[in-house]
Amino acid sequence: MKQPSRRRYDPDRRNRIIEAALDVIEIHGIAGATHRRIADAADVPLGSMSYHFNGLEEVFVAAFSLLAETVSAKFVELLDAAKTKDEAREAVVELICGNVWATERNMRLSYELYAYSMRNEAIRAVFVDWMARSRRALERHFSSRTADALDTIIEGATIHNTAQPDTVTREVVRWMVLSLTREEYDIG
């Protein structure tokens, strides 16, 4: 070390690295997410990587955990805001068709998460927990069986619309939601 540039005081650098990791994964995929690229994105030296994490896998686990946390929170928030069953229905439609939850970024990252969870037990647990929370939020408004169904179409429709935008239109989504919640219909 010849010219040690002034060392930065940088608490929660660890968190910044984790967020940077998500940015890198979004663009390059897990396959292209390297120590160096993440370090650059977080604007920290390479050495910080080995200091804060025991290997790349630990970075990925932290990153995907953060993703699940963030996305799941938004999901629950939107559903909890609904006061009547009709509002809950509309919230589901909004989750699928709106630009709050099913963003391009979230979808890209979710796909990486899906794939990664097949090969990593910790991430699989994160994924399962995420789904459980979604399901619980839906169950505040709907029966257990209906919650399963709605969760299913949320997953499926967002994927379709990622590949081909507006294949599953808002109108079709609304119709699906109604069909699957009809028997529970109430005044609201």
Partner DNA sequence: AGACGATGTGTACATCCTTACATATCGTCT
Partner DNA sequence: AGACGATATGTAAGGATGTACACATCGTCT
34 near DNA, rule: CB under 7 A: yes
23 binds DNA (CB under 7 A): no
Could you tell me the smallest distance in angstroms from the CB atom of residue 160 to a second copy?
A: 6
**Helix, strand, or coil here: 120?**
coil
The verdict on 120 binding DNA (CB under 7 A) reads no
Is residue 55 a contact point for DNA (CB under 7 A)?
A: yes
- Residues with Cβ < 8 Å from 156, sequence gap 6 or more? none
**Sign of the alpha-carbon torsion through 10, 13, 16, 21:** positive
Per DSSP, 29 falls in state T
94 binds a second copy (CB under 8 A): no
Task: Tell whether residue 51 is a contact of DNA (CB under 7 A).
Answer: yes
Per rule CB under 7 A, is residue 124 in the interface with DNA?
no
Q: Alpha-carbon distance 148 to 155, whole Å?
A: 11
- The option from DNA, a second copy, none interacting with 24 (CB < 5 to 8 A, set by class) reads none
**54 binds, options DNA, a second copy, none, Cβ within 5 to 8 A by partner type:** DNA
Unique residue bearing structure tokens 């808002």: 170
The stretch among 31-39, 89-97, 105-113, 120-128 that binds DNA (CB under 7 A) is 31-39
Report the distance separating Cα 172 and Cα 133, nearest Å.
26
Ramachandran quadrant class, 166 (left: phi over 0; alpha: psi -120 to 50; beta: rest): left
Per partner kind, with CB cut-offs from 5 to 8 A, the member of DNA, a second copy, none near residue 37 is DNA
User: Should residue 153 be labelled a site residue for a second copy when binding is judged by CB under 8 A?
Assistant: yes
The H or E element containing residue 50 is: helix 47-52
The answer to whether residue 10 forms part of the interface with DNA (CB under 7 A) is yes
Q: Which residues are near DNA by CB under 7 A? A: 1-11, 13-14, 34-37, 44-52, 54-56
